[in-house]
């Protein structure tokens, strides 16, 4: 087990977050990186224990056209600032990985400048791919060369050149020695030479125990990159796409199929592929912008934190901010933010509260990091699965529908489970739990072992923004059941049945003769079951399976909690 197996990442694009100028004047250092020091406590408070930050090194513009691999971008400060930032993170138990832009350099990089100045006589003419002194480019260099992505601003390094490999390997050693970093995210890893990556992995194994190499890979068979010889992990773009489109299209089959395919790709083992899971980053639109129904923010993030892989939050998305990709510009995806503008978010912002709670649960429930994955229930709009480790099972239930849904799922053991987000307790009956999953929400059910579980009553759908079709739900935790019943079009039958059940206290039960107590309890259970069904019918069509789920639930407290969960 390595630190990254239990990591929850916070992703920072520093030039954006710190409000650096778009173009580098190459002047005196401006110590903007120090603005991030207060963010360290915030990152810790929302349950993240690792930071992926970058690009950081001297460049001409957005950071991926590197000028100097061994110097912090002067728009952010100097090397001492970066060393101090990493040290401050380590003091708080937070690991740090940096962006490694090793596929290409900027035109101001020393090797490229030497080619411009010395042309055919340059000692670095073979450091870049397809340098042709008979060609030209838009910069009128008098030669052409291979670039990345069609941009001559990004000159592609010749990764087959031993001198290039040695130089980049030395950069990694320098970063560890100078800044004490814990890993590197390889930019554009899907176009890196595999022998080149093997050399980088060799250095990673050498410089520090559990040094992590994660690569940016968009498509393909991830096992080509994730193995003992190359990388520890790659960006999980397959799941990224499925998470937002599976909710926008009300299609959990897409998500479940993607998870199954990736899990099989890793040999059906939780340690097979530890992919880097995310719902947004510096290159794609914010999840809050992509979601058609903003209330789906809750089930999306419940899945992000519970499906196999390593979850990551992109800075600012824990506040539910927008970010739309603009033509020819990613600026709106990489905004400057002030932490002062989000004071009190942990108490007042439902998105932030949810992220913090999920971070806490992720770190307290090892099965979410190491457990086997098993699908338990799947429809277009409902999805349940388990993560099991050493006999301990966490069960995840999500619902993307605009109506509540009752799920009956097997537990694999135990007598009682508790919702890690809501604090609701449910009793196992015939090896199953029957739980009501409110509209546009999710829950993580873990075995309940008495007091001290640390579960606060924070609902995953509490006060989250909704579309016009999905009113915001504020789930009460009061003891009174009636405060959680529908206030409009509520069934008279349901109301009277609930009122009757509330009046049946212990003293009235004690007055019933012993020989009739069994039938009394049976009648009480039947009344609660009818109340649940009556309320469900007001929320939408009730299927035969839903009726069976209700009838199979015969535990008094579970039925009472079921009624309480309606809103």
Pick 309 or 536 by higher pLDDT.
309
Instruction: Answer yes or no: are the C-beta atoms of 13 and 59 closer than 8 Å.
Output: no
pLDDT band at 333 (very low <50, low <70, confident <90, very high): very high
| pLDDT confidence band for 450 (50 / 70 / 90) | low
- Asked if 32 and 53 count as a contact pair (C-beta separation under 8 A), the reply is no
Side-chain-side CA neighbours of residue 268 (13 Å): 2
Question: Range with the lowest mean pLDDT among 71-80, 273-282, 453-462?
Answer: 453-462
Mean pLDDT for 331-357 is 97
Do 459 and 353 contact (CB within 8 A), yes or no?
no
Token pair recorded at residue 550: 């209700």
What own/partner pairs with CB < 8 Å and gap ≥ 24 does 196-203 have?
196/102, 196/159, 196/160, 196/165, 197/225, 197/230, 197/231, 198/229, 198/230, 199/165, 199/169, 200/102, 200/168, 200/169, 200/172, 201/229, 201/230, 201/231, 202/169, 203/169, 203/172, 203/173
**Residue range 209-235, pLDDT digits in tens:** 999 999 999 999 999 999 999 999 999
The answer, yes or no, to whether residue 466 has pLDDT greater than 60, is: no
Alpha-carbon distance of 137 to 141, in angstroms, equals: 6
- Name the strand (E) or helix (H) holding 524: helix 514-539
pLDDT tens digits for range 428-443: 999 999 999 999 999 9
Length of the chain: 567
Q: What is the pLDDT of residue 496?
A: 35
Q: What is the pLDDT of residues 380-424, one digit of tens each?
A: 999 999 999 999 999 999 999 999 999 999 998 889 999 999 999
Q: How far apart are CA 508 and CA 498, in angstroms?
A: 16
Q: What is the pLDDT of residues 477-494, one digit of tens each?
A: 222 222 232 233 333 333
For 274, phi then psi, to 5°, come to -100, 75
Alpha helices, DSSP H only, in 186-283?
Answer: 194-207, 237-248, 252-265
Please compute the mean of the pLDDT values over residues 272-285 and round it to a whole number.
Answer: 96
- pLDDT, mean of residues 262-267: 95
- Looking at 2-11, 296-305, 555-564, which range is the least confident one? 555-564
The SS3 of residue 420 is coil
Spatial contact of 567 and 473, defined as CB atoms under 8 Å apart: yes
Percentage of residues in the chain having pLDDT higher than 90? 77
Across 43-50, average pLDDT: 98
| Mean pLDDT over the full length of the chain | 87
pLDDT at 160: 98
- Kindly state the average pLDDT of the residues 132-151: 97
Among 26-40, 77-91, 405-419, 491-505, which stretch is predicted with the lowest mean pLDDT?
491-505
User: What mean pLDDT comes out for the span 314-342?
Assistant: 95
Whether residue 187 contacts residue 214, with contact meaning beta carbons closer than 8 Å, is answered with no
The token pair at 320 is 């539910």
């Amino acid at each position: 087990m390595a630190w990254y197996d239990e990591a929850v990442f916070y992703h920072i694009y520093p030039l954006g977050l710190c409000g650096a100028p778009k173009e580098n004047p190459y002047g005196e250092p401006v110590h903007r990186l120090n603005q991030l020091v207060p963010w360290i406590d915030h990152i810790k408070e929302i349950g993240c224990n690792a930071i992926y930050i970058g690009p950081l090194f001297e460049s001409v513009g957005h950071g991926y056209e590197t000028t100097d691999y061994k110097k912090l971008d002067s728009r952010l400060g100097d090397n001492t600032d970066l060393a101090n930032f990493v040290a401050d993170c380590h003091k708080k138990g937070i690991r740090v990985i940096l962006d490694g832009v090793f596929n290409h350099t900027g035109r101001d990089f020393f090797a490229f400048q030497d080619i411009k100045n010395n042309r055919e006589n340059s000692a670095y003419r073979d450091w870049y791919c397809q340098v042709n002194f008979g060609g030209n480019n838009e910069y009128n260099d008098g030669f052409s060369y291979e670039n990345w992505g069609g941009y001559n601003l990004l000159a592609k390094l010749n990764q087959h050149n031993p001198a290039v490999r040695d130089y980049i390997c030395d950069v990694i050693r320098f970063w560890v020695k100078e800044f004490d970093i814990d890993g590197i995210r390889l930019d554009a890893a899907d176009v890196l030479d595999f022998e080149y990556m093997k050399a980088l992995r060799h250095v990673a194994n050498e410089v520090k125990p559990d040094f992590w190499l994660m690569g940016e890979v968009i498509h393909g068979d991830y096992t080509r990159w994730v193995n003992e010889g190359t990388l520890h992990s790659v960006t999980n773009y397959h799941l990224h796409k499925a998470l937002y489109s599976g909710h926008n299209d009300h299609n959990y089959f897409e998500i479940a199929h993607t998870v199954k395919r990736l899990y099989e790709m890793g040999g059906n083992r939780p340690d097979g592929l530890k992919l880097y899971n995310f719902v947004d980053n510096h290159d794609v639109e914010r999840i809050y912008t992509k979601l058609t129904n903003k209330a789906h923010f809750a089930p999306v993030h419940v899945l992000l934190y519970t499906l196999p892989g390593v979850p990551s939050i992109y800075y600012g998305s824990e506040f539910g901010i927008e970010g739309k990709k603009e033509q020819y510009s990613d600026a709106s995806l990489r905004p400057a933010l002030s932490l002062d503008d989000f004071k009190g978010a942990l108490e007042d912002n439902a998105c932030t509260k949810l992220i913090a709670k999920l971070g806490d649960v992720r770190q307290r429930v090892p099965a979410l990091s190491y457990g086997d994955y098993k699908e338990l229930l799947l429809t277009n709009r409902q999805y349940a699965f388990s993560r099991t480790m050493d006999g301990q099972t966490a069960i995840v239930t999500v619902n993307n529908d605009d109506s509540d849904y009752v799920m009956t799922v097997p537990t694999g053991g135990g007598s009682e489970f508790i919702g890690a987000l809501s604090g609701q307790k449910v009793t196992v009956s015939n090896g199953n739990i029957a739980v009501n999953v409110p509209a546009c929400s999710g829950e993580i059910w873990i075995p309940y072992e008495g007091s001290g579980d640390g579960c606060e009553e924070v609902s995953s759908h509490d006060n989250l923004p909704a579309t016009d079709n999905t009113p915001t739900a504020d789930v009460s935790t009061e003891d009174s059941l009636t405060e959680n019943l529908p206030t409009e079009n509520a069934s008279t039958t349901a109301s009277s049945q609930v009122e009757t059940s509330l009046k049946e206290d212990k003293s009235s039960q004690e007055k019933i003769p012993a020989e009739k107590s069994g039938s009394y309890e049976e009648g009480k259970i039947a009344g609660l079951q009818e109340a649940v069904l009556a309320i469900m019918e007001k929320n939408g069509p009730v299927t035969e399976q839903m009726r069976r789920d209700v009838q199979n639930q015969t535990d008094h407290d579970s039925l009472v909690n079921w009624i309480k969960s309606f809103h």
